[in-house]
Amino acid sequence: MAADSLAHWTSVWTSKRPEETSWFEERSDESLRAVERLGIGPDATVLDVGGGASRFVDGLLERGHTNVAVLDVAAPALDAAKARLGARASVVRWIVGDALEPSTLSALAGTVDVWHDRAMFHFLTDEPAIARYRAALDRALAPTGRVILATFAPDGPEKCSNLPVSRHDAASAERALGPGFRVVESWRTIHRTPWGSEQRFAWSILARS
């Protein structure tokens, strides 16, 4: 990750409260429904990639999940999530680092049952970055693991957090992740930002081919 990108995300998370970001959700219902569809047990390893200060982790803990990890490049985002969770934060594995760096997820290699990414992948706009993401995913994901991927849809916004994004549908998400992955389910949603504008999202569940 370029230093300016790290600076961007650190500055976003130090200058805004989570509720002031466009991607904020009071509850991560769509993500939690996607996890339910996978029919996994409570001890499955769920990793939220680029999780920021998302409340997805809260919902997983409320549903009895015992093996949850949250990864983000911006430490202040994870600090906000930890502060919100209080004592419950101690059961979560918090990882500060660049998801594209091979060393970031080395401790989880081959163990991740659910790779969840809402609105991180779409910041990867060139093939070298996407290739690094693919490699990180391939290393971390268990053989039977699944990917929940949510990006801006082709008719969604062209920018997120003032950065250009790659918009995807299920077919382009599948192409981007390469022949090692296939889409098993896909759907679309509309996210309403805290100030009421609509953002069209495309969701996919992918499995190894």
Ligand X SMILES: C[S@@+](CC[C@H](N)C(=O)[O-])C[C@H]1O[C@@H](n2cnc3c(N)ncnc32)[C@H](O)[C@@H]1O
The residue ranges that bind ligand X (CB under 6 A) are 1, 9, 23, 50-52, 54, 71-74, 77, 98-100, 118-120, 123, 160-161
68 vs 120, beta carbon nearer ligand X: 120
76 vs 145, beta carbon nearer ligand X: 76
Q: Minimum CB separation from ligand X for residue 194, in Å?
A: 12
CA distance 133 to 99: 7
**How many beta carbons lie within 10 A of that of residue 76, not counting itself?**
18
User: How far is CA 29 from its chain centroid?
Assistant: 14
Q: Minimum CB separation from ligand X for residue 110, in Å?
A: 20
Q: Minimum CB separation from ligand X for residue 71, in Å?
A: 6
Answer yes or no: are the C-beta atoms of 52 and 122 closer than 8 Å.
Answer: no
User: Radius of gyration over alpha carbons of the chain, in Å?
Assistant: 16
43 vs 101, beta carbon nearer ligand X: 101
The position carrying tokens 């081959």 is 110
Which residues have CB under 8 Å from 107's CB, separation 6+?
A: none
178 vs 194, beta carbon nearer ligand X: 194
3-state helix, strand, coil in the chain (%, to 5): 35, 30, 35
Q: Minimum CB separation from ligand X for residue 152, in Å?
A: 10
Q: Minimum CB separation from ligand X for residue 89, in Å?
A: 17
161 vs 172, beta carbon nearer ligand X: 161
Answer yes or no: are the C-beta atoms of 75 and 53 closer than 8 Å.
Answer: no
